[in-house]
Structure 1
Amino acid sequence: MAALTAIREVALAQARELARRGRLAEAGELLDEAYHDTEPDTAYLDLRARVHAQQGDLARADECWAQAQRLSPENTEYAAARRRIARMRTGRRLPPILAAGIAGLLVGAVVTALLTGGDDEKPPAAATAAPSAPAPSLASAEDVLTGLDVTMPGVRARRTPGEITVTFDRGLFAGDTTLTRDGRALLARLADRLKPQAGRLRLTVLGHTDDQPLRAGGPYAGNMELAEARAATVREVLHERAAVPTAAVTVSALGPAVPPNRGRAARTVSIRISAV
């Protein structure tokens, strides 16, 4: 039970980070996978509602907050969020052209209050805030990722705005934190692709495991600890081979939650690459 709770806590943290980056579909998928075999708790329902709200799906957001309200009636934030949604949905009863415009503004501005728990009676600051200017280095950062080719046999690269997610077709580890020969070779080739831009990259290495419990008395208390140790192993390889600064690499663990592969192939990591 404790291990399952830890997995969900990690999934919640990762989903929050994905949502902050605007990767809403991935955040929703991660949450749903982590909670697919159990009754949802308020932490899941609240974050899932926020993701739905950011996506503009106010009906489903309201359903999630209503369920959270039933589980925790003393929590006033859920009721406040539902009142905001009721006001937002009321605006959609206007003529179609006006309703569409106002709904877009509401989702873009008022949702900020839903996500930050703003005062229920005050207009959200985002509604009057001037749009921020793009960072001067944004174009060059995008150029770094555009010119970064990490696709090779055994490696899958999925590009989203501002990030490349790298996964591997096979498991990288023979057991615990020992890399297979093929795994070390794949990481070496990947590091060679990263090295020319090593000073411009920021990496997040996520450790994965299969769903088998670890033997008692082993070096790791559970799959989460093993997953984090695997991520740290890969961080060191990339640091040594690609000269990526250790401070630019974050390690985290998903353990057996939402693995990129199944079975022995789940003994791996995922790497998220962004530019600075």
Structure 2
Amino acid sequence: MITAQVRGFDRARAAELARAGEHDAAVRILDGLGRDPDTLDLLARVHAQRGDFAAAAEVWSEVLAQDPTNPSALAGTKLITAITEGKRRARPLPLAVIGSTAVVVAALAGVLMAQQQTPAPPPLPTAAPPSPATQSAAVTPDPREAALRSLMTELAGADVRLEQHDDGVRVVFQRGMFLPDSTELSQEGRGQLERWGRLLRGKEVRVTVLGHGVVVPGGPTTGGSATALARAAAAVEVLADAGEQPATTFAARSADQTEAPHADGNPAVNRTVSLLVEPR
């Protein structure tokens, strides 16, 4: 019997294959995971991403037979209908892998291209540049920049290092969380995540959990790893439980080996996860 955690990992692997253009391999994995709505939704997206709209519509219909109000299937079916009827151009469809322990969201590498391109509109007339006085009066604060600064203040703590990026605030834990060569949390690691689960509860943010692995001799040096993904999934469970939120509130993925949170390469502190917190 396939456990929910294993099913979540397999869905994540299928999403990565689809993103790399290996759609047939992704479909084979998904066909073996059962017919639950989350697996079927991803299967429909893979079909749509490779341009098989009929297959995508059929699979989403199966989702709606189980759950007539499923928002993803309703939106997907509506989009496919509009595309096939020529009412709108095809566009990229994101792959969302949803499991009871993790959510893995991956942007598709390919783009569903329309048969005809809409001609670009003529350029608008160029207005004369404003005077320095006008420019000064027109400057307004960037609301996202202000939100990021506020988030940095709210998340500051002695046990973490915060890094502000354009897409959010990265939370780097100063101490390791997992036992050696394991995806099992240490007692201290679990405690750190429980505190952060409570801290994040109720905040208007999106949280991506990045699992980290230690590069071993002879092992891959890029591309992420199953161990890192399993660590992210384990962290999601604790964050969700402590914050009294569904696990699907969080996204989980394997960080690349080059994204080690601590550059000194110390395995003890790099057996961990980091968080990317983005204001909504």
TM-score by length of structure 2 reads: 0.43
Q: Which structure shows the bigger proportion of residues in helix conformation?
A: 1
TM-score (norm 1): 0.43
